[in-house]
Amino acid sequence: MTHPDFLWRDPDPRPAYDVVIVGGGGHGLATAYYLARDHGITNVAVLEKGWLAGGNMARNTTIIRSNYLWDESAALYEHSLRLWEGLSDELGYDLQFSQRGVLNLAHSVADVREGRRRVNANRLNGIDAEWLDAAEVKKFCPVLDVSGSARHPVLGATLQRRGGIAKHDHVAWALARRADAYGIDLIQDCEVTGFEITGGRVRAVRTSRGRIAAGKVALAAAGHTSVLAGHAGLRLPLQSHPLQALVSELLEPVLDCVVMSNAVHVYVSQAHKGELVMGAGIDACNSYGQRGAFHVIEAQMAAALELFPIFSRVRVLRTWAGVVDVSPDASPIIGPTPVDGLYVNAGWGTGGFKATPGAGSVYAHTIAHGVPHPLAEPFALERFATGALIDEHGAAAVAH
């Protein structure tokens, strides 16, 4: 058997680049791609301490939607969803992007009010959103228990039909292949251990593979952003937590939409291959351990079985965790930092996969122009001092 063609080179670092991106996950790769595609900036390196897209990009449950409550978030996530809609064709790679519909269940009168409010807010922002009552939910997703006697009664749900899932590995590989074709160096096994900052400006990064000079440095390091920012003397409003997920053994097709329940912290979809993919909320304590506690999985499975009694005999194949960077308002931080030439894209926490193309495109713009892209502007660091938070804890409680 011959080895298939490699999708990207595996270059050694050169001594200097115009832009050095720290972190080769989905956001780092997308940022590199859009720097080249939209701004003609190709003297770029993406530095990854492990292997490409082996962090949260490899670990997430791939839910994509744009039905966020506030105008700022809706605009950013909808920008991303529109990019998703053309991305397979554009990258020449089947991303298995499937707009199968995302349900967010309401289990209480308060949930119903929040859900209806979000549907209205979404519509005002030109985002497709529908409110389904319990009978309509049952029709859309027959395997859900919507009977009045259920432990978590389903009183209704919001539905975004354009939401869905994609194959995360394909997304990373497709972006990497295109970035590489533009001449961008994707450098693995290269950990950034510090920065050279003189006169308030970043000049170079120190790495496990030597010093690399940089015109600009762009962080895209997800759960490790605080550690990196600390090397640059910055203290960011981020906390790193484990976020766990699991898959079942392979099943025949049984669930053809995404079901999320914020109140009971569980969400489920069925991947193309056939496994049920389920996720929970974060583990409460700070951790960089890439593992979580079993009681979190247990609670999540208990809730899932109440919602889907038909899954009671399904076996868990494997569980895992990523390290997610959670911000105080559950919204990302995108933009310049107090260090000239140093940019940050972080705080996507539990929900940044869906933003991969959107974040990449607005971050690339911000880096190229040195000022925030209009869609990124409200997400700048300053909001924590001005108080203009974008609080997505409410309606989107589990912000996957």
Nearer to other proteins, 41 or 236 (CB): 236
Q: Cβ of residue 223: shortest distance to other proteins, in angstroms?
A: 9
N-to-C CA span, the chain: 40
Q: What is the DSSP letter of 74?
A: H
Nearer to ligand FAD, 68 or 140 (CB): 68
Directed axis angle between helix 168-181 and helix 356-369, to 10°? 30
Query: Is residue 195 near ligand FAD by the rule CB under 6 A?
Result: no
**CB burial of residue 64 (10 Å; 0-12, 13-18, 19+):** buried
Considering only CA atoms, which of 316, 318, 322, 317 is closest in space to residue 283?
322
Directed axis angle between helix 71-91 and helix 168-181, to 10°? 70
Rounded to whole angstroms, the Cα distance separating 16 from 33 reads 19
Q: Cβ of residue 98: shortest distance to other proteins, in angstroms?
A: 35
Identify what 348 binds: ligand FAD, other proteins, none; CB under 5 to 8 Å per kind.
ligand FAD
Q: Cβ of residue 299: shortest distance to other proteins, in angstroms?
A: 8
φ/ψ (deg, to 5) at 115: -65, -45
Query: Is residue 74 near ligand FAD by the rule CB under 6 A?
Result: no
| Pairing verdict, β 16-22 and 44-47 | parallel
Yes or no: say if 40 and 367 are a contact pair by the CB < 8 Å rule.
Answer: no
Identify what 285 binds: other proteins, ligand FAD, none; CB under 5 to 8 Å per kind.
other proteins
Yes or no: say if 273 and 250 are a contact pair by the CB < 8 Å rule.
Answer: yes
Give the up-direction half-sphere exposure of residue 346: CA atoms within 13 A in the CB hemisphere.
33
> According to CB under 6 A, which one of 308, 311, 353, 379 is a site residue for ligand FAD?
353
Query: Is residue 224 near ligand FAD by the rule CB under 6 A?
Result: yes
Query: Is residue 115 near ligand FAD by the rule CB under 6 A?
Result: no
Identify what 302 binds: other proteins, ligand FAD, none; CB under 5 to 8 Å per kind.
none
Rounded to whole angstroms, the Cα distance separating 157 from 259 reads 9
Cβ-closest position to ligand FAD: 25
Q: Cβ of residue 222: shortest distance to ligand FAD, in angstroms?
A: 4
Nearer to other proteins, 47 or 314 (CB): 47
Handedness of CA 58, 333, 77, 175 (dihedral sign): negative
Identify what 164 binds: other proteins, ligand FAD, none; CB under 5 to 8 Å per kind.
none
Identify what 3 binds: other proteins, ligand FAD, none; CB under 5 to 8 Å per kind.
none
φ/ψ (deg, to 5) at 258: -105, 130
Nearer to ligand FAD, 134 or 359 (CB): 359
> According to CB under 6 A, which one of 79, 118, 177, 354 is a site residue for ligand FAD?
354
Q: Which of the ranges 3-11, 21-29, 74-82, 370-378 carries the binding residues for ligand FAD, by CB under 6 A?
A: 21-29
Considering only CA atoms, which of 376, 356, 337 is closest in space to residue 166?
356
Nearer to ligand FAD, 74 or 245 (CB): 245
Q: Which residues bind other proteins (CB under 8 A)?
A: 224, 226-227, 235-240, 284-289, 293-295, 328, 384-387
Q: Which of the ranges 116-124, 238-246, 334-342, 379-387 carries the binding residues for ligand FAD, by CB under 6 A?
A: 238-246
Rounded to whole angstroms, the Cα distance separating 229 from 335 reads 13
Query: Is residue 50 near ligand FAD by the rule CB under 6 A?
Result: yes
Name residue 116's amino acid: R
> According to CB under 6 A, which one of 42, 56, 287, 327 is a site residue for ligand FAD?
56
Considering only CA atoms, which of 354, 295, 357 is closest in space to residue 60?
354
Yes or no: say if 327 and 225 are a contact pair by the CB < 8 Å rule.
Answer: no
Yes or no: say if 129 and 66 are a contact pair by the CB < 8 Å rule.
Answer: no
Q: What is the DSSP letter of 6?
A: P
Q: Cβ of residue 384: shortest distance to other proteins, in angstroms?
A: 4
Site for ligand FAD in 135-194 (CB under 6 A): 191-192
Nearer to other proteins, 55 or 115 (CB): 55
Query: Is residue 352 near ligand FAD by the rule CB under 6 A?
Result: yes
Nearer to other proteins, 43 or 290 (CB): 290
Binding site for ligand FAD (CB under 6 A): 22-28, 47-50, 53-57, 59-63, 191-192, 220-222, 224, 228, 243-245, 279, 322, 324, 348, 350-354, 400
